[in-house]
A = this chain, B = another copy of it.
Amino acid sequence: MKLTILGCYAATPRSFTNPTSQVLEVKNHLFLIDCGEGTQMQLRRNKIKFSKIRHIFISHLHGDHFYGLVGLISTFRLLNREKELHVYGPKGIKEIITLQLKLANSWTNFPLLFHELNSKEPQLLFEDSAVMVKTIPLKHRIYTNGFLFQEKPGERKLLINEAVKYNIDVSLYNSLKKGKDVVSEDGELIENHLVTADPPPPKSYAFCSDTVFDPDIVPQIKHVNALYHESTFLESEMDLAFPTKHSTAKQAATIAKLASVKKLILGHYSTRYTDINLFRQEAETIFPNVDLADDGAEIIVE
């Protein structure tokens, strides 16, 4: 799992900072998470092959999380995209995009499929043989979801030398990878664990932005390998966090601790702060393994 931060600042884009957008590379997918203004430029600057994006997840309809979507869709059209594009986001997103395409007297030359969300319960949005994506309902000023990306357990790792030693026919290797016992050329039953090893444990990434401090999300994000949790403010601006339904770095760290995650990634910093290291320092008083999102940063989820 590799996460590329395209933008990680709250509210308004500035000369050289970008609003929320991330790309998660996992099991041959490029998932785009949120799409603030300028995301398509950031995709280019970070040399991401964005024709590979087939699924876009929009957390909520505040501009700093989706104003770049219509431009990206238009660019896909101009680049003669043919592959399906799936957009998952709050109810209303389809009308916003289609109205603009209609007024430009244009339509996409690729299938554009909207999956509009309005449930307040976690929902499965996408699943294939290798990965699942679910919503994490969040509490913000308007209807908002985070997203949970989970790898499925991979196939068992074949120990070739052992398989040869036990005289197992090559045609049975796939069964072994799937965890089955097999019968060798010598007619002997070979228990799977003798010729395979456990696959690497599946990884998971939770994206939680924007949200007020909300321990209700803890069960759903328990033990994830990486949690991105918004920290718009520091504790010194605590009085602003609750009324705007945002979190402080300390609150984000508290959620990380309660959920026993492996790593906390902070982001969605208010542009009032000039030094984002203050967010890390504050979070580390609660939780040890803290990373800072920053525009252009690549973070390996381990």
Contacts and interface: CB of A to CB of B under 8 A. Distances in A.
B37 A13 contact: no
Nearest to A12: B75
A99 B141 CA distance: 17
B142 A104 contact: yes
A72 to B, nearest CB: 9
A71 interface: yes
A289 to B, nearest CB: 33
A40 interface: yes
A71 B16 CA distance: 16
Contacts of A11: 78
A267 interface: no
A105 B142 contact: yes
Contact of A96 (B63, B71, B92, B99): B99
A62 B63 CA distance: 19
A292 to B, nearest CB: 22
A103 B141 CA distance: 11
A188 B103 CA distance: 66
A70 interface: yes
9 contacts: A13-B75, A16-B45, A37-B38, A38-B41, A61-B103, A63-B70, A63-B74, A67-B100, A96-B103
Interface of A: 11-16, 37-38, 40-41, 44-45, 61-63, 67-68, 70-71, 74-75, 78-79, 90, 92, 95-96, 99-100, 103-105, 141-142
- Closest 10 pairs between A and B when the two form their complex, measured CB to CB: A92-B103, A15-B44, A37-B71, A12-B75, A63-B74, A15-B45, A61-B103, A67-B71, A105-B142, A38-B38
